[in-house]
C-alpha cells in the first residue's frame, strides 16, 4: 500500500531514459552500464542509479543493465505496457493534429473519438477516428471505457467540460488550455502550457543576450 513517494523530478526523467533505452535497444546493444548511459544522456551515472533504485534493482554488479529488460521495466513503471484509451475534446486544429500523430499509439495511447460542437463535423473522421458531437459525450462515456480526456478547447469552456468529464468518471486530463484546472484528489491533470514554454524560451534568449553585452 503506502509506497514511498517518488519525486516529480525522477518521474520527469523516466520518459527520457525510456526513449534512450529504446534507441539503444534498436541499435542492437544488449547491455549497458550506468556510466555509458550517463555519457550518452548527459546526466550523472549516480543519478541514473539512484533514479532506477527508487523502483528496484534492475542491474547486476559487474555487468550493468540488460537493455531490453530495463527498457521493459521502465515501460511498466510508466504504464506504457498497457492500453490507454483516450478521447479528444475539441476538434480544432490542435485536436486534429493530436489525432493524426501516430507516435502516441505506439506507446499505448489510443484516441477513440473526437468531440466537438460544430455541426458541420457530424459524420466526419480523422484517420478513422470518428468526430462526435458534445451532446453525445455522456452517453458515449457510459458505453465506452475511456481513461484520458485530452482538452484542446477554448479557455472559456474548459472548466465546464472538465467538470462534466469528472462527473462521468474520467480520472485523467491532458490539458492544453492555458489555465489551471481545479480537480478532486483522485483526478490527475497534466498540463501542456505552450505559451509558458515559449516564454521560457524567450527568457533564455533575452538573458543570454544580456550576458553577452
Partner DNA sequence: TAGATTGTTAATCGATTAACAATC
Interacting residues with a copy of itself (CB under 8 A): 1-3, 6, 11-12, 14-16, 18-19, 77-80, 82, 84, 92-94, 96-98, 100-101, 103-104, 107-109, 147-148, 171-172, 174, 178-180, 186, 188, 190, 192-208, 210-211, 213
Q: What angle do CA 188, 194, 200 make, to 5 degrees?
A: 110
Q: How far apart are CA 137 and CA 168, in angstroms?
A: 9
Task: Please pick, from the candidates 61, 93, 208, 209, the single residue that binds DNA as defined by CB under 7 A.
Answer: 61
Q: Which residues contact 146 (CB under 8 A, 6 or more apart)?
A: 85, 86, 87, 112, 170
Residue tagged 500523430 (cell numbers): 101
Q: Please, which of residues 65-124 interact with DNA by CB under 7 A? A: 65
Binding residues with DNA: total (CB under 7 A): 25
The CA–CA distances, whole Å, from 84 to 64, 126, 186, 197 equal: 32, 19, 17, 26
Q: How far apart are CA 17 and CA 51, in angstroms?
A: 10
CB of 7 to DNA, least distance (A): 3
Complex with DNA: residue 60 or 197, whichever CB lies closer:
60
CB of 104 to a copy of itself, least distance (A): 7
CB of 70 to DNA, least distance (A): 9
Burial of 176 (0-12, 13-18, 19+ CB in 10 A): buried
What does 208 interact with, of a copy of itself, DNA, none (CB < 5 to 8 A by kind)? Answer: a copy of itself
Q: Please, which of residues 1-60 interact with DNA by CB under 7 A? A: 7-10, 33-35, 43-47, 49-50, 52-53, 57-60
207 binds DNA (CB under 7 A): no
Do the beta carbons of residue 104 and residue 98 sit within 8 Å? Answer: yes
Q: How far apart are CA 203 and CA 149, in angstroms?
A: 31
Residue tagged 526513449 (cell numbers): 19
200 binds DNA (CB under 7 A): no
CB of 45 to DNA, least distance (A): 6
Binding site for DNA (CB under 7 A): 7-10, 33-35, 43-47, 49-50, 52-53, 57-65
Amino acid at each position: 500500500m503506502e509506497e514511498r513517494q517518488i519525486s516529480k523530478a525522477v518521474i520527469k526523467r523516466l520518459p527520457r531514459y525510456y526513449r534512450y533505452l529504446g534507441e539503444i535497444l534498436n541499435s542492437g546493444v544488449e547491455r549497458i552500464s550506468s556510466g555509458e548511459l550517463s555519457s550518452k544522456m548527459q546526466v550523472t551515472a549516480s543519478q541514473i542509479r539512484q533514479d532506477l533504485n527508487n523502483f528496484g534493482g534492475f542491474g547486476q554488479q559487474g555487468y550493468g543493465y540488460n537493455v531490453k529488460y530495463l527498457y521493459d521495466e521502465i515501460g511498466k513503471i510508466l504504464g506504457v505496457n498497457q492500453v490507454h484509451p483516450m478521447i479528444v475534446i475539441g476538434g480544432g486544429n490542435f485536436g486534429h493534429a493530436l489525432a493524426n500523430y501516430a507516435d502516441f499509439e505506439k506507446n499505448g495511447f489510443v484516441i477513440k473519438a473526437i468531440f466537438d460542437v460544430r455541426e458541420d463535423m457530424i459524420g466526419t473522421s480523422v484517420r478513422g477516428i470518428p468526430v462526435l458531437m458534445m451532446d453525445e459525450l455522456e452517453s458515449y462515456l457510459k458505453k465506452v471505457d475511456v481513461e484520458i480526456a485530452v482538452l484542446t478547447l477554448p479557455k472559456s469552456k474548459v472548466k465546464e467540460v472538465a467538470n462534466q468529464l469528472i462527473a462521468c468518471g474520467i480520472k485523467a486530463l491532458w490539458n492544453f488550455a492555458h489555465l489551471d484546472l481545479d480537480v478532486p484528489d483522485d483526478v490527475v491533470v497534466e498540463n501542456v502550457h505552450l505559451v509558458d514554454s515559449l516564454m521560457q524560451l524567450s527568457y533564455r534568449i533575452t538573458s543570454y543576450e544580456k550576458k553577452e553585452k
